């Protein structure tokens, strides 16, 4: 397989060449991470798939999980003497990185790298979870990927028009696409969002139809799908590990286990709301919460019609959630130290 089929281009080639002086004694080759499982990585190169582990310097020198390879990464590997296994020596600079904070911790958990578009999937057989959608959209916006909200199972919605309008109101410009993977409604529009050579990733809790969407793009029922449990709308985890697959169209797709929780990381709000962050520089107080403080430039912009009030409300909700999660994580670490 040629690397160009996996999205390799001149920019990736230049980034790879820039690494060579650091590893002059090694015969490095580029590859893309297809799957990861318990410290092992399946890396696809132009010579085929190679089972790989992170080099000691890479694994032990990483300050957090974001510095280690993740599905979608381009990496530099060197083959072992057996030629059946390889070692990952470096991760090429990413164009995007989806990562989240899990409740009770401020440690980042990577989800996928180098995705061009992130599909946030929700099933309209239940009411939209608007706050979760806001958090996820903030995470995607900060990652560098293009966010698209996919409202699946539109044929099962109690009031599809109302649900779509509610999601559009908090999407802040992100595209919202309603469809039915089961019936095939609007699936051509969905496929068109992932052109040749581009990488997409499916996000959302189990049971919303991510595997059905992936199977449509694959043109076959390659990924297992499972029924939603009656009464609680929670689907079974039919996809057990995150994986990058090449689609017949020439695009690429990352599918994986359901993600219900989208905890924000520090810094993501500023990247998601750059307009509010810029206005805040003119607030009287550096720690202005844009609530009732005098001299608040952000509230003044809302009053003048220069900033949407709903956008400020979204920012404040996410700011409170981020502060609460960070405080809980610090308290947990402090408790562990005392024990």
Distance CA 91, CA 110 (A): 14
Nearest C-alpha neighbor of 325 from the set 179, 109, 20: 109
Is residue 250 in some structural domain?
Answer: yes
Residues 113 and 177 in one domain: yes
Nearest C-alpha neighbor of 94 from the set 194, 11, 3: 11
CA neighbours closer than 13 Å in the CB half-sphere of residue 310: 9
DSSP of 133-166, one letter per residue? HHHHHHHHHHHTSEEEEEEE-GGG-SSHHHHHHH
Is residue 198 in some structural domain?
Answer: yes
- Residue that finishes a domain, picked among 38, 68, 91: 91
Sign of dihedral through CA atoms 29, 33, 37, 39?
Answer: positive
**β-strands 175-178, 146-152 pairing:** parallel
Residues 128 and 230 in one domain: yes
The answer to whether 112 and 71 are in contact (CB under 8 A) is: yes
Report the largest interatomic distance among the alpha carbons of the chain, rounded to a whole angstrom: 69
pLDDT (tens, 9 = 90+) of the chain, 339 residues, equals 889 999 999 999 999 999 999 999 899 999 999 998 878 999 999 988 989 999 988 988 888 888 899 999 999 999 876 667 899 999 999 999 998 766 555 677 888 999 999 999 999 999 988 888 888 888 898 899 999 999 999 999 999 999 999 999 888 889 999 999 999 999 999 999 999 999 999 998 888 888 899 999 998 655 444 443 333 333 343 445 789 999 999 999 998 764 445 555 555 667 678 788 889 999 989 888 898 899 999 999 999 999 888 888 888 887 887 676 544 444 444 454 454
Residues 165 and 150 in one domain: yes
Residues 122 and 25 in one domain: no
Note down the domain range covering 297: 273-338
Residues 135 and 222 in one domain: yes
Is residue 223 in some structural domain?
Answer: yes
Residues 136 and 218 in one domain: yes
């Amino acid at each position: 397989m040629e690397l160009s089929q996996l999205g390799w281009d001149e920019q990736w080639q230049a980034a790879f060449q820039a690494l060579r002086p650091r590893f002059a004694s090694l015969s490095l080759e580029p590859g893309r991470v297809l799957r990861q499982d318990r410290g092992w990585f399946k890396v696809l190169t132009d010579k085929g798939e190679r089972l790989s582990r992170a080099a000691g310097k890479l694994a032990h020198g990483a300050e957090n999980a974001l510095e280690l390879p993740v599905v979608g990464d381009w990496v530099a590997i060197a083959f072992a003497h057996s030629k059946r296994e390889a070692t990952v020596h470096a991760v090429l600079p990413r164009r995007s990185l989806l990562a989240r904070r899990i409740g009770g911790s401020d440690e980042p958990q990577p989800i996928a790298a180098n995705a061009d578009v992130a599909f946030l999937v929700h099933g309209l057989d239940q009411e939209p979870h608007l706050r979760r959608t806001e958090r996820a959209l903030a995470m995607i916006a900060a990652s560098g990927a293009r966010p698209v909200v996919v409202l699946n199972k539109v044929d099962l919605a109690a009031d599809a028009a109302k649900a779509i309008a509610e999601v559009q109101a908090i999407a802040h410009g992100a595209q919202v696409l309603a469809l039915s993977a089961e019936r095939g409604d609007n699936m051509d529009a969905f496929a068109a969002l992932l052109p040749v050579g581009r990488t997409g990733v499916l996000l959302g809790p189990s049971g919303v139809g991510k595997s059905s969407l992936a199977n449509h793009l694959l043109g076959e029922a390659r990924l297992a799908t499972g029924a939603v449990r009656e009464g609680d709308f929670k689907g079974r985890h039919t996809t057990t590990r995150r994986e990058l697959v090449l689609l017949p169209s020439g695009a690429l797709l990352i599918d994986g286990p359901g993600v219900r929780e989208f905890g924000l990381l520090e810094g993501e709000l500023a990247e998601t709301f750059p307009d509010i962050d810029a206005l805040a520089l003119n607030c009287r107080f550096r720690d202005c919460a844009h609530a009732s403080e005098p001299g608040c430039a952000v509230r003044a912009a809302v009053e003048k019609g220069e900033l949407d009030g709903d956008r400020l409300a979204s920012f404040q909700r996410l700011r409170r959630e981020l502060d609460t999660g960070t405080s809980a994580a610090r308290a947990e670490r402090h408790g562990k130290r005392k024990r």
